[in-house]
Amino acid sequence: MSAKADCAKSSTFGHTIGHALEAETRYTQLLHGEAVAWGMIAATHIALSTGKLDSVTAGRISNSILGFGRLPRMELKTANILKRLRSDKKTRREWCTLFAARNWQSRDRKRRAGSDHPLGHR
């Protein structure tokens, strides 16, 4: 993969989940940056829960994001967010690109969706 492609992909960290949050709130509760920040935190927690990231690094990432200020609280249904993530334009044939904060320049960004997949793909 070229350096340009790596750079373009790394700039989307948090965007997939952030866009799902924006859409679910009908673009009325979050600024784009807030949605991406929540997406970055969520992607970090997914990476932690799937063993792609250690707890110290996950804490550093989350603390760095939250260091810019509090994020708005939302009351959303997880099932609705997952539905939006499954229909995202970057999700094709049960493959989903989510960025783990560790190894994000490796080619291990795509994970075959299985029963233990964080998004529940089958």
In a domain, residue 122? The reply is no
Residue 95's domain comprises: 3-111
Taking the model in full, what pTM does it have? 0.71
Greatest Cα-to-Cα distance within the chain, rounded to the nearest angstrom: 40
pLDDT (tens digit, 9 = 90+) per residue, 92-105? 444 455 544 444 43
- Output Rg (C-alpha) for the chain, integer angstroms: 14
What's the rounded Cα separation, in Å, for the pair 93 and 98? 15
Average pLDDT per block of 10 residues along the chain, 122 residues long: 56 88 95 95 92 93 95 93 83 48 42 42 36
Residue 66 CB partners (closer than 8 Å, separation 6+)? 41
For the chain, the average pLDDT equals 76
What's the rounded Cα separation, in Å, for the pair 17 and 39? 5
CATH code, 60: 1.20.1090.10
In a domain, residue 118? The reply is no
How far out from the chain centre does Cα 48 lie? 12
